[in-house]
């Protein structure tokens, strides 16, 4: 419990400091989660859900925490240019764990849409936020999430009222910046009301090569017949530890697409929990990771089919090179009365190097009988005979392998429903495979590597 | 829908036909477990010092362990002090031939349909029958001895072939392996021992029948099969138990060792008493089975048909150590009423060019829970490992559950590991198709289930295949999802 002790003491000592830079609504939830965390501590590798990732060790580093919400005096709009060409997004920033307040929007948001700092908005609209905040995250046994609830002071809040369609993609950039080793606990809340629709792109970046740890929790509520797209793109560096937890609750006939793409990272843990709480709701959950060196991507997904007639489709692909390791743990749970469920899960992985390791555990738990469920998982390499076929037609070995790898991840890219974003991801993926991603983009001072 | 309900009721009333008890004088030792009991068991069997040491070490280790909780099972607390760890049919003065064997016992085997009697010998199976904890009679021994094959109870082997037993016992499943392995190592009372010498192809199927007869007993048998270079053996195992309200405990260990180019085929038809339709009684079946392909080009094949037991916790595994070795696992697990099964396999690829193939078919009905749990592990040195796993689940009734927990751990880039799984109920289309050709719904379901399980049942030796098919019918005939 050594790693925990420093945070337990920190919390007890600075509780009033933490509270004073957050909202009373967020403060109300702290005590329960702190007790939960103090009792159970960080997850360790004896825990079935954390077999292949040592988060205890990551958290035991000596990180700075910006509990006093010191303003870093940066203008992200100036030096951050990693925008997606042609996407025309509404851009928001969270620097470490604080929402960047001087929002400059190129376009106006549709009427009634609220987007901004979770801290400020929960002061302004306490009743609205109270009925959603921590409602999904509270029930988890994952102590990193409770750790977040105990320490989080700010984050991003998005509210799309009934029937409103936000055409342009909303882009949230999570940026680590500080010049010292830092930890950030930020909290996002997304509420999409009945018949509304929105798309959110969440990018993760680190400005310097310091040891950063980001522990971010996002809760999403999708109303009846609403549509929501959630794209997460991680492009940081090898020293970065990213723990992201996404909780989704879907009402009747809602449609959700989630895609998590990890291009460059150090250690990544992605938790996704989707609750299909209304009949005829559907979710498409996809993701890919391209890892080399000593990078590690650990994905843990749970899809709860709580109601009948829902469908879910899950597709994760990993390409591992160097001494990278990947872990995938996908769980589909079909409750007793969730008849006519359709749930399909696929996980495919390529190991390009002898030292690359892949651990996969796709599992189904089914308590209803009238269902159609399947899962499949493979671990393998690029097919020699296919490479030979391409070479015999005059394509060099390197290019042949590239082609096959692009083809391999293509169907994950196709899950993305924003054409401009899809093109950009394709480009980034190509750059990643060619090892060109660490070059600075024009006009950008972000050190992606 | 009403029809379905009626048919479902019919399966739940499918009776356990092996639920008789036999009145044989049985010798017990007191219930409970402590070092004295371990010593007593060892003394009763007149065991050498090293084996007692092995038992005591295992017992002391067991005391430090807790019952594992990770399986997808709801196991009521077991009081290990309420179980008798040794119950043997009482020996009358030296039965020299079959005539002198307790006639009640022979009747038991008759009911089980075991060709134990001499006149049935031409049926061609060598049988080692184990009632409660003690091996009663081994047939065909002489014929096997001609070829140099040793097939006897493990307690005889301890006396007659101590070096072999000492060398191999615990080498595949050490007593430190898990809770039940430690328990078994401490208190095992009997089991079968097989040794196939170099270059010998065993001319007949070897078989052992296990039966728990006495009340409040646990059965802890231990099977050890050693196949030397270029040998082959097919081994069958069948199990039954009488109907009782209390739960009985069965915790066995099976160890298989294959040397170069040897092949062992191990088939099980497990039909312990599954409890009544309220889920009362039944056998807890906690078994550790593991084989090691020690030599190059060797092969171990597990086939199991699991229809019995209130709770099954069983993972027959292969350690593929030799280059080019092959591991296979074929399983049909049927659960009904309140049965629970958490079963599957582990394939550990260590040697080069090793292959493994897993086919698992789960059928759950009533209120039962049926899980597949499997591990495919490829260590860094295992070049060109190849695995294919397929696990399908069939659901009948809306109160049962079917689950799959496959683990894949791949540490080598030349490995190809594939897993696929589906879960569904019997499709209405299939039943309709049969209906319109004049086949009743009941028969149609029987047909479909048998077809579904065929892939595995085909792997069983002939005699067992017939029994397995019958068992499937008893448990499931006429059921509609």
* A362/B72 CB distance under 8 A: no
Identify the pLDDT of residue B253: 92
Q: What pLDDT sits at residue A28? A: 92
> Would you call B288 exposed, middle or buried from its count of C-beta atoms within 10 A (0-12, 13-18, 19+)?
buried
- C-alpha dist (Å) from residue A337 to A273, A371, B71: 20, 10, 24
Do B408 and A379 count as a contact with CB atoms less than 8 A apart? yes
Q: Give the per-residue pLDDT at A237.
A: 84
Q: Which residues contact B250 (CB under 8 A, 6 or more apart)?
A: B210, B212, B218, B219, B220, B239, B241, B272, B283, B284, B285, B286, B287, B309
| Crossing angle between the packed helical segments B49-63 and B35-44, to the nearest 10 degrees | 150
Inter-residue contact B322 to B292 (CB < 8 Å)? no
Contact between residue B461 and residue B236 where contact means Cβ atoms under 8 Å apart: yes
Residue showing tokens 């007191």: B30
Tell me the two tokens of residue A230.
Answer: 């959630």
Shortest Cα–Cα distance, A378 to chain B (Å): 4
Test the B interface: residue of A292, A364, A376 with most B CBs within 10 Å = A364
Asked if A361 and B405 come within 8 Å (Cβ–Cβ), the reply is: yes
Residue B230 contacts residue B199 (beta carbons within 8 Å): yes
Average pLDDT over residues A391-413: 93
Between B401, B410, B415, which is nearest A366 by CB?
A: B401
CB A354 to CB B412 under 8 A?
A: yes
Do residues A222 and A253 lie in contact, with contact meaning Cβ atoms separated by under 8 Å? no
Distance from CA of B407 to the nearest CA of A (A): 5
Q: Are B478 and B11 in contact (CB under 8 A)?
A: yes
Of B399, B404, B416, the CB nearest to A363: B404
Q: Which structure tokens are listed for A82?
A: 């990693």
Q: Do A371 and B425 touch (CB under 8 A)?
A: yes
Taking each helix axis from N to C terminus, what angle separates B441-457 and B2-12, rounded to the nearest 10 degrees? 50
Is B401 close to A354, i.e. CB distance below 8 A? Answer: no
Other residues' Cβ atoms within 10 Å of the Cβ of residue A253 = 19
Backbone angles phi, psi at A52, to 5 degrees: -115, 15
Asked if B481 is an interface residue toward chain A (Cβ–Cβ < 8 A), one would say: yes
The series of mean pLDDT values per 10 residues for chain B, 481 residues long, is 49 51 62 84 86 91 87 83 71 44 57 46 52 58 82 86 90 90 88 90 80 65 92 83 68 92 90 77 88 94 87 92 94 87 93 93 88 92 92 84 89 88 83 90 81 83 72 58 39
Encode burial over A408-430: b for 16+ CB neighbours within 10 A, e otherwise: bbeebbebbbbeebbbbbbebbe
CB atoms within 10 A of CB B165: 23
Scanning every residue of chain B, which has its alpha carbon at the shortest distance from the alpha carbon of A330? B405
- The string of pLDDT tens digits covering residues A146-182 is 999 999 999 999 999 999 999 999 999 998 887 788 8
Which one is predicted more confidently, B203 or A130?
A: A130
The answer to whether residues B236 and B124 touch, using CB atoms and an 8 Å cutoff, is no
> How far apart are alpha carbons B33 and A170 in whole angstroms?
67
**A398 CB neighbour count, 10 Å cutoff:** 9
Tell how far CA B191 is from the center of its chain: 13
Of A169, A230, A90, nearest in space to A420 by CA: A169
Q: What are the chain B neighbours of A374 within 8 Å (beta carbons)? A: 420-423
Cβ distance B422 to A366 less than 8 Å, yes or no, reads no
Give the per-residue SS3 of chain A.
CHHHHHHHHHHHHHHHHHHHCCCHHHHHCHHHHHHHHHHHCCCCCCCHHHCCCCHHHHHHCCCEECCCCCCCCCCHHHHCCCCCCCCCCEEEEEECCEECCCCCCCCCCCCCCEEEEHHHHHHHCHHHHHCCCCCCHHHCCCHHHHHHHHHCCCCEEEEECCCCECCCCEEEEEEECCCCCEEEEEEEEEEECCCCEEEEEEEEEECCCCCEEEEEEEEEEECCCCEEEEEEEEECCCCEEEEEEEEEEECCCCEEEEEEEEEECCEEEEEEEEEECCCCCEEEEEEEEEECCCCEEEEEEEEEECCCCCEEEEEEEEEECCCCEEEEEEEEEECCCCCCEEEEEEEEEEECCCCCEEEEEEEEEECCCCEEEEEEEEEECCCHHHHHHHHHCCCCHHHHHHHHHHHHHHHHHCCCCCHHHHHHHHHHHHHHHHCCCCCCCCCCCCCCC
The whole-angstrom separation of Cα A33 and Cα A185 is: 14
Q: HEC profile for chain B? A: CHHHHHHHHHHHCCCCCCCCCCCCCEEECCECCCHHHHHHHHHHCCCCHHHHHHHHHHHHHHHCCCCCCCCCCCCCCCCHHHCECCEEECCCCCCCCHHHCCHHHHHHHHHHCCCCCHHHHHHCEEEEEEECCEEEEECCHHHHHHCCCEEEEHHHHHHHCHHHHHHHCCCCCCCCCCHHHHHHHHHCCECEEEEECCCCECCCEEEEEEECCCCCEEECEEEEEEECCCCEEEEEEEEECCCCCCEEEECCEEEEEECCCCEEEEEEEECCCCCCCCCCCEEEEEEEEEEEECCCCCEEEEEEEECCCCEEEECCEEEECCCCCEEEEEEEEEECCCCEEEECCEEEECCCCCEEEEEEEEEEECCCEEEEEEEEEECCCCCCCEEEEEEEEEEECCCCEEEEEEEEEECCCCCEEEEEEEEEECCHHHHHHHHCCCCCHHHHHHHHHHHHHHHHHCCCCHHHHHHHHHHHHHHHCCCCC
Contacts of A359 in chain B (CB under 8 A): 407-410
In chain B, domain spans: 2-476
Structure tokens at B10: 């019919």
- Alpha-carbon span B269 to B256, nearest angstrom: 18
Q: In whole angstroms, what is the distance from residue B348 CA to residue B387 CA?
A: 10
B chain contacts of residue A316, beta-carbon cutoff 8 Å: none
d(CA B53, CA A327): 42
Q: Residue A179 contacts by C-beta under 8 Å, 6 or more apart in sequence? A: A208, A210
Each residue of A6-40: pLDDT tens digit? Answer: 899 999 998 998 999 899 999 999 999 999 999 99
Q: Which among A27, A1, A25 has a CA at the least distance from the CA of A14? A: A27
* Residue in B closest to A329 by C-alpha: B407
Phi-psi region of B369 (alpha: psi -120 to 50; beta: other; left: phi over 0): beta
- Reported ipTM exceeds the 0.85 cut: no
Record the tokens describing residue B108, joined without a space: 């038991």
Q: Does B405 sit within 8 Å of A376, measured CB to CB?
A: no
pTM: 0.81
Pseudo-torsion of CA B165, B168, B173, B175, nearest 10°?
A: 60
The string of pLDDT tens digits covering residues A172-231 is 999 888 778 889 999 999 999 999 999 999 988 888 778 899 999 999 999 999 999 999
Residue B406 contacts A where some CB pair is shorter than 8 Å:
yes
Nearest to A266 by CA among A213, A228, A304: A213
Distances (CA, A) of B292 to A26, B220, B295, B345: 57, 21, 9, 13
Query: Can you give the pLDDT at residue B399?
Result: 81
Residue B293: what pLDDT? 94
Q: Is the pLDDT of residue A307 over 70?
A: yes
- Predicted local confidence at residue A333, as pLDDT: 93
């Amino acid at each position: 419990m050594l790693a925990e002790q420093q945070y337990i003491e920190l919390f007890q000592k600075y509780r009033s400091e933490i509270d004073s830079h957050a909202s009373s609504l967020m403060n109300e939830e702290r005590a329960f989660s702190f007790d939960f965390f103090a009792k159970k501590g960080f997850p360790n590798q004896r825990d079935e859900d954390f077999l292949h990732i040592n988060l205890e060790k990551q958290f035991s580093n000596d990180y700075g925490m910006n509990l006093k919400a010191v303003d870093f005096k940066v203008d992200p709009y100036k030096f951050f240019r990693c925008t997606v060409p042609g996407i025309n997004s509404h851009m928001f920033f969270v620097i470490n764990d604080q929402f960047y307040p001087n929002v400059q929007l190129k376009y106006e948001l549709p009427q009634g849409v609220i987007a901004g700092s979770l801290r400020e908005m929960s002061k302004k609209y306490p009743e609205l936020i109270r009925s959603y905040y921590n409602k999904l995250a509270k029930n988890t046994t994952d102590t990193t999430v409770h750790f977040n609830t105990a320490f989080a002071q700010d984050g991003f809040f998005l509210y799309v009222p009934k029937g409103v369609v936000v055409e342009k993609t909303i882009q949230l950039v999570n940026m680590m910046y500080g010049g010292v080793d830092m930890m950030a606990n930020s909290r996002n809340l997304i509420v999409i009301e009945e018949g509304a629709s929105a798309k959110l792109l969440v990018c993760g970046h680190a400005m310097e090569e310091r040891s950063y740890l980001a522990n971010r929790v996002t809760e999403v509520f999708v109303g009846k017949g609403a549509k929501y797209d959630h794209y997460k793109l991680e492009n940081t560096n090898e020293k970065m530890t990213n723990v992201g937890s996404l909780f989704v609750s879907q009402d009747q006939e809602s449609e959700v697409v989630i895609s998590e793409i990890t291009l460059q990272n150090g250690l990544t843990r992605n938790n996704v929990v989707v609750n299909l709480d209304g009949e005829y709701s559907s979710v498409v959950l996809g993701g890919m990771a391209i890892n080399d060196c000593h990078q590690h991507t650990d994905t843990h997904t749970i899809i709860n089919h709580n109601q009948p007639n829902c469908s879910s489709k899950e597709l994760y692909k990993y390409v591992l090179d160097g001494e990278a390791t990947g872990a995938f743990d996908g769980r589909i749970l079909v409750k007793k009365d969730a008849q006519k469920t359709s749930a399909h899960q696929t996980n495919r992985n390529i190991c390009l190097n002898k030292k690359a390791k892949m651990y996969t555990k796709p599992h189904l738990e089914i308590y209803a009988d009238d269902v159609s469920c399947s899962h499949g998982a493979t671990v393998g390499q690029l097919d020699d005979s296919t490479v030979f076929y391409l070479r015999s037609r005059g394509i060099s070995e390197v290019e042949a392998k590239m082609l096959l790898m692009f083809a391999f991840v293509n169907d994950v890219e196709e899950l993305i429903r924003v054409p401009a974003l899809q093109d950009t991801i394709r480009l980034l993926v190509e750059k990643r495979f060619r090892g060109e991603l660490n070059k600075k983009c024009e006009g950008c001072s972000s050190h992606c590597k | 829908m009403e029809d379905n309900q009626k048919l479902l009721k019919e399966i739940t009333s499918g009776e356990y036909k092996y639920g008789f008890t036999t009145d044989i004088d049985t010798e017990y030792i007191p219930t409970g477990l402590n070092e004295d009991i371990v010593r007593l068991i060892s003394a009763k069997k007149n065991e050498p010092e090293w084996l007692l040491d092995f038992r005591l070490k295992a017992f002391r280790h067991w005391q430090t362990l807790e019952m594992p909780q990770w399986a997808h099972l709801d196991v009521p607390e077991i009081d290990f002090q309420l179980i008798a760890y040794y119950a043997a049919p009482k020996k009358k003065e030296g039965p020299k031939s079959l005539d002198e064997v307790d006639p009640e016992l022979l009747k038991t085997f008759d009911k089980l349909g075991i060709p134990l009697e001499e006149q049935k010998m031409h049926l061609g199976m060598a049988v080692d029958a184990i009632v409660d904890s003690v091996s009663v009679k081994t047939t065909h021994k002489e014929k096997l001895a001609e070829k140099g094959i040793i097939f006897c109870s493990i307690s005889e082997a301890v006396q007659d072939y101590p070096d072999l037993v000492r060398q191999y016992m615990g080498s595949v499943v050490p007593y430190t392996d898990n809770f039940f392995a430690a328990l078994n190592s401490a208190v095992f009372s009997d089991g079968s021992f097989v040794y196939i010498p170099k270059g010998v192809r065993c001319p007949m199927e070897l078989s052992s029948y296990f039966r728990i007869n006495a009340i409040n007993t646990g059965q802890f048998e231990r099977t050890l099969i050693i196949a030397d270079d270029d040998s082959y053996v097919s081994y069958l195992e069948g199990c039954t138990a009488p109907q009782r309200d209390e739960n009985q405990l069965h915790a066995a260990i099976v160890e298989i060792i294959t040397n170069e180019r040897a092949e062992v085929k191990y088939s099980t038809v497990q039909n312990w008493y599954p409890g009544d339709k309220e889920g009362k009684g039944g056998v807890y079946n906690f078994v550790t089975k593991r084989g090691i392909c020690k030599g190059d080009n060797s092969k171990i094949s597990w086939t199991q048909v699991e229809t019995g037991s209130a709770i099954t916790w069983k993972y027959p595994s292969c350690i593929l150590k030799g280059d080019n070795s092959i591991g296979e696992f074929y399983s049909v697990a049927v659960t009904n009423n309140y049965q629970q099964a958490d079963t599957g396999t582990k394939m550990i690829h260590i040697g080069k060019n090793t292959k493994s193939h897993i086919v698992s078919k789960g059928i759950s009905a009533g209120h039962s829970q049926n899980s597949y749990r499997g591990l495919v592990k490829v260590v860094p040195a295992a070049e060109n490992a190849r695995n294919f796993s397929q696990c399908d689940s069939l659901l009948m009734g809306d109160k049962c559950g079917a689950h799959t927990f496959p683990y894949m751990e791949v540490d080598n880039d030349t490995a190809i590991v594939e897993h696929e799984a589906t879960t569904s109920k019997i499709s209405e289309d299939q039943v309709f198709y049969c209906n319109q050709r004049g086949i009743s719904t009941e028969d149609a379901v029987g047909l479909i289930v048998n077809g579904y399980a065929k892939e595995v049942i085909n792997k069983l030796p002939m005699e067992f295949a017939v029994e397995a098919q019958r068992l499937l019918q008893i448990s499931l005939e006429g059921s509609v999802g």
